[in-house]
Amino acid sequence: MSAYDLLIAPFADYGFMRRALIACLCLALGSGPIGVFLMLRRMSLMGDAMSHAVLPGAAIGYLVAGSLSLTAMGIGGLVAGLSVALLSGIVSRATVLQEDASFASFYLTSLALGVLIVSLRGSNIDLLHVLFGTILAIDGPALALIGSITSVTLVALALVYRPLVAECFDPGFLRTVGGRGPVYHALFLLLVVLNMVASFQALGTLMAVGLMMLPAAVAQLWGRSLTAMITLAAVTAAVSGYVGLVASYHLELASGPTIIMTAAVIYGFSILFAPSGLVRRLFPRPHLAG
Amino acid sequence: MNALLTLDNLTVTYDRHPAVHHVSGFFRAGSLTAIAGPNGAGKSTLMKAIMGELLPAEGRLQHQLVRSDFGYLPQAADINRRFPISVLDTVLLGAWRHTGAFKANGSKEHAHATETLAAVGLGGFERRPIGSLSAGQFQRVLFARLLLQDAKVILLDEPFTAIDARTTQDLLDIVAHWHGEGRTVIAVLHDLEQVRTHFPETLLLARECIAWGPTAEVMSAGNLLRARMMAERWDDGAGTCEPPVSDASSNGVVA
SS (HEC) of A146-196: HHHHHHHHHHHHHHCHHHHHHHHHCHHHHHHCCCCHHHHHHHHHHHHHHHH
Interface contact flag, B67 A176, Cβ < 8 Å: yes
Strand partners, B11: B58
Chain A: give the shortest CA distance to residue B83, in Å.
6
Q: Rounded to whole angstroms, how far apart are CA atoms B146 and B16?
A: 34
The verdict on a CB contact (< 8 Å) between A170 and B67 is: no
User: Radius of gyration of chain A from Cα atoms?
Assistant: 20
* B83 to A40: CB separation less than 8 angstroms, yes or no: yes
Instruction: Please say whether the beta carbons of B160 and B130 come within 8 A.
Output: no
The tens digit of pLDDT for each residue in B87-110 reads 999 999 998 888 888 888 888 889
Cα–Cα dist B141/B133, whole Å: 9
A230 to chain B, any CB pair closer than 8 A? The answer is: no
- Interchain CB distance below 8 Å, B101 and A176: no
Asked if A224's CB is within 8 angstroms of B129's CB, the reply is yes
Q: What share of chain B is helix, strand, coil (3-state, %, to 5)?
A: 35, 25, 40
pLDDT tens digits, residue range A244-277? 999 999 999 989 999 999 999 999 999 999 987 8
Task: Looking at the complex, report in whole angstroms how far the Cα of residue A140 sits from the nearest Cα belonging to chain B.
Answer: 35
| Ranges in chain B annotated CATH 3.40.50.300 | 1-65+152-238
Give me the residue spans of the domains in chain A: 3-280
Distance between CA B25 and CA B250 in Å, rounded? 7
Say if residue A189's pLDDT is above 80.
yes
Residues of A in contact with B96 (CB under 8 A): 166, 177, 179
- The DSSP string of B12-58 is EEETTEEEEEEEEEEEETT-EEEEE--TTSSHHHHHHHHTTSS--SE
Closest to B86 in 3D by CA, of A228, A184, A259, A61 = A228
Measured between CA atoms, the residue of chain A closest to residue B71 is: A176
Residue of B nearest to A227 (CA): B84
Tell me B129's DSSP state: B
The percent of residues in chain B predicted with pLDDT above 90, rounded, is 63
DSSP string of B79-128? --TTS--BHHHHHHGGGHHHHTTTSPP-HHHHHHHHHHHHHTT-TT-TTS
Would the CB atoms of A169 and B67 count as touching at under 8 Å? no
In contact, B228 and B41? CB cutoff 8 Å = no
Residues of B whose CB is below 8 A from A173:
77, 79, 93, 145
Q: Which pLDDT band holds residue A85 (cuts at 50, 70, 90)?
A: confident
d(CA A32, CA B85) in angstroms, rounded, equals 18
Nearest partner of B84 among A215, A39, A30, A263, judged by Cα: A39
Best residue in A37, A38, A162, A226 for a mutation probing chain B (most B CBs within 10 Å): A162
Across the range B4-24, mean pLDDT stands at 91
Short-list A87, A79, A37, A89, CA closest to A58: A79
pLDDT score for A139: 86
Note whether A229 contacts B: Cβ–Cβ < 8 A.
yes
* Chain A residue nearest residue B68, CA to CA: A177
List, for residues B180-230, the tens digit of each pLDDT value: 999 999 999 989 999 999 999 999 999 999 999 999 999 999 999 988 887
Cβ distance of B99 and A170 shorter than 8 Å: no
Chain A residues inside the 8 Å CB shell of B90:
169
CATH architecture entry for A3-280: Orthogonal Bundle (1.10)
CA nearest neighbour of B203 among B190, B214, B193: B214
Q: Which residue of A has its CA nearest to B101?
A: A163
Pick B83's closest partner by Cβ from A159, A169, A178. A169
Distance between CA A191 and CA A204 in Å, rounded?
Answer: 18
- Report which secondary-structure segment, H or E, holds A234: helix A226-251
pLDDT in tens, A11-26: 999 999 999 999 999 9
Mean pLDDT score across all residues of chain A:
87
Residue A122 is predicted with a pLDDT of 64
Residues ≥6 apart with Cβ < 8 Å to A255: A20, A135, A136, A244, A245, A248
Assigned CATH for B1-65+152-238: 3.40.50.300
8 Å CB contact of B53 and A175: yes
Tell me which residue in A163, A226, A229 faces B101 most closely, judged by beta carbons. Answer: A163
Picking from A160, A169, A176, the nearest residue to B72 by CB comes out as A176
More confident residue, A125 or B54: B54
pLDDT of residue A201 exceeding 70, the answer is yes
Q: Which residue of B has its CA nearest to A173?
A: B72
Distance in angstroms (rounded) separating the CA atoms of residues A150 and A144: 10
Q: Closest Cα of chain B to A161: distance in Å?
A: 8
Residue A141 has pLDDT above 60, yes or no: yes
Shortest CA gap A94–chain B (Å): 16
Task: Tell me if chain B has a CB within 8 Å of the CB of A187.
Answer: no
Contact (CB<8Å) B80/A168: yes
pLDDT band at A237 (very low <50, low <70, confident <90, very high): very high
